[in-house]
Amino acid sequence: MINNDLFSDVKFVVRGGPNGESESKQVIRAHRFILSISSPVFEAMFYGELAETGDSIELPDCEDDSLLELFRYMYSDEVILSGSNVMGVLYLAKKYMVPSLADKCAEYLQDKVDPSNVFGILPQAQNYEEKKLIDHCWEVIDEQTEQAVKSDEFATIERPLFESVVERDTLNIEEIELFKAVNLWATKRCEEQGLSTDGSEKRKILGERIVKGIRFPVMTEHEFASIVLDCKILTPDEAFSVVKYFNSVPDTPIGFSEQKRSGCKESFQRCRRFGSVVHTDSGYSYASDKRDFLLFEVDEDISLLGVTLCGSKDCNYSVAITLKKLSDRSFPCTKSGKFPSVFMQSLEQASYYAFNVFFDRPVVIKRKHCYRIEASISGANSCFGVDGRKSVLCSGVTFRFDNSSESGNGTSVARGQFPEFLFTVT
């Protein structure tokens, strides 16, 4: 009976074709009673106090293929959805209050969401208040952020959604890549409005909320200097404050979040050797004539990228690290510098203030060879690890730790410094 003259008592005049050309009109025939028992909106339209009495109704807000699928569902409880009609069908299901059809459309879209189209689907899901679909879209954005923000759809999203993305803590993306996407969005807006694409115009387009949402301090100094500074979006004072931060100038107001986004998945593994961290008033002290030592070996070859050291809130530390291979007494790595302590949520049972010290290049640690790591640290008293384990299995690699008789500052297998070893499996 769908779109059949037999017993039909109403016809709908709609746009024809997926392009919605106004000159192309299509007529779809229907039966008032069937539509009314499926939709309270149609019931009011045909049998309410202000019922339509004519036999022809024009619907300028939909296309024939979407309306036919709405009617197919009302007549047969079946629907044929496609990429070209699903949004139109969802719109009609909401307009005519057919929630079971809206659910089917949302389920169809949920199966089709990927990084290339998520920023096209999410605004529609928000507009129609489809919570499950909205949540799934955000899951895709969080999991595959870099691919999503590099999609064509991202450059066209409206400001409210754009702000929500930039301020979102759970994104899985390096901050410099997010900044590139933000810069491209601003460039596109400038071009649309016939404005120049220099830094000052892009800053006006972005506004303070978006600029402050970028976490410049978590970038590397090279990324900031080679990419961000060249865009000239930051004011001179903002740029100077970030440069001072990178160089550990004390008491520098930064104005940007220093915390890495919680959803950003690191490209390396963390071997955590402590069960918890102790915070005391006196803390773990450092002295110029005392150093922290620890012996370790692994059962598989790894590339050691660096180590994490305990610190204290809002403090900077001067550090010199030496790595020694005991079998041939070679020194495969030394590293020194100044490092700001930041809040970390790395240990199994604790959150603490610490800082990562990355070597200038990865160091190959050979299996079943004993290495000694040494740290000379200068700075404020810090927290320290306790409940240390002699053996730790991490990503298929077993680390074994041992005490060094040279350790003069209290670090041992059980307590002290070197809470985390940062590595990749070779």
Q: Specify the amino acid at residue 415.
A: R
Average pLDDT, the chain: 90
pLDDT recorded at residue 288: 63
Q: CB neighbours of 113 closer than 8 A, spacing ≥ 6?
A: 121, 133, 136, 137, 140
Rounded CA separation 59/12 (Å)? 7
pLDDT at 350 over 80: no
Structure tokens belonging to residue 169: 């803590």
Structure token digits, residue 413: 């297998």
**Whether residue 356 has pLDDT greater than 80:** yes
**Residue 44: pLDDT band by 50, 70, 90 thresholds?**
very high
Question: With pLDDT > 90 as the criterion, what percentage of the chain qualifies?
Answer: 65
Q: What is the pLDDT confidence band of residue 351, given thresholds at 50, 70 and 90?
A: confident
**CB contact set of 279 (below 8 Å; sequence gap of 6+):** 352, 383
pLDDT, position 345? 62
Domain limits, the chain: 10-112, 142-246, 269-425
Is the pTM value of this prediction over 0.85?
Answer: no
The more confidently predicted of residues 282 and 320 is: 320
CB 191: neighbour CB atoms within 10 A?
11
| pLDDT of amino acid 207 | 94
Q: Which of 37-41, 274-278, 329-333 has the highest mean pLDDT?
A: 37-41
In tens, the pLDDT along 71-110 reads 999 999 999 999 999 999 999 999 999 999 999 999 999 9
pLDDT tens column, 258-280: 888 888 777 789 999 998 888 76
Q: What is the CATH number of domain 142-246?
A: 1.25.40
Q: Which of 1.10.3720.10, 3.30.70.20, 1.20.1250.20, 2.60.120.820 is the CATH number of 269-425?
A: 2.60.120.820
In CATH terms, 10-112 corresponds, of 2.60.120.260, 3.30.710.10, 3.40.50.2020, 1.20.1560.10, to 3.30.710.10
Check whether 6 has a pLDDT greater than 70.
Answer: yes
Position 282 scores a pLDDT of 63
pLDDT at 211 (0 to 100): 96
- Tens of pLDDT along 376-420? 999 888 999 999 999 999 999 999 999 998 878 889 999 999 999
Q: What is the mean pLDDT of residues 37-41?
A: 94
**pLDDT of amino acid 20:** 45
- Give tens-digit pLDDT for 96-155: 999 999 999 999 999 999 999 999 999 999 999 999 999 999 999 998 999 999 999 999
Q: Calculate helix-pair angle for 118-127, 131-143, nearest 10 degrees.
A: 150
Whole-Å CA distances, 276 to 91, 346, 356, 403, 417: 53, 10, 18, 19, 12
Between CA 148 and CA 154 the distance in angstroms is: 7
220 against 205, higher pLDDT: 205
